[in-house]
Amino acid sequence: MINTVTIVGNLGNDPEIRYTAQGVPVANFNIAVNENYKNKEGEKVKKTHWFKVTAFQRLAEIVGEYCAKGSKVGIRGQLTQRTWQDAEGANHSVVEIRTRELELLSGKNGNGAAAPELTDAAEAVGTAAIDDDIPF
């Protein structure tokens, strides 16, 4: 089976970086992807899709170092579903993208350092023509 997803969008928040008990870095963040189209009446419509994303190890470190709210990134990874039970016994489930490849598309970040074009990934995600506006 194939389980691969590729998206290009903007971070909706600063990434949250934490470490597992074994010291493995984990980055959690949300990516907004805009969809623009014309409805039946010919009016332009802008719809934003939100994706939960997780990166591990070196990719998590790169996200933490080079990305912030509004940064444009391209990611490729796989969809995963996590389920858990909270303290009150309620069941929860979330589908997220586990990043395998990352491309930083914003140019310069807030501290003036040039962002690298590609991380440890073997190939570039590529750029997609999307609206630069983000929903915040």
Distance from C-alpha of 74 to C-alpha of 121, rounded to nearest angstrom: 11
Q: Which pLDDT belongs to residue 108?
A: 56
Average pLDDT per consecutive 10 residues, the chain (136 residues; last block may be shorter) = 92 96 96 93 94 96 94 95 92 94 77 40 34 43
Closest Cα to residue 52, out of 20, 19, 99? 99
* C-alpha to C-alpha distance for 57 and 97, rounded to whole angstroms: 15
pLDDT of residue 3: 92
Q: Report the pLDDT value the prediction gives residue 106, as an integer from 0 to 100.
A: 84
User: pTM of the entire structure?
Assistant: 0.71
Whether the Cβ atoms of residue 89 and residue 111 lie closer than 8 Å to each other: no
Check residue 14 and give its pLDDT.
96
Q: What are phi and psi of 53, to 5 degrees?
A: -130, 145
- Per residue in 82-97, pLDDT (tens digit) is 899 999 999 999 999 9
Q: 24 CB contacts (<8 Å, ≥6 apart)?
A: 56, 57
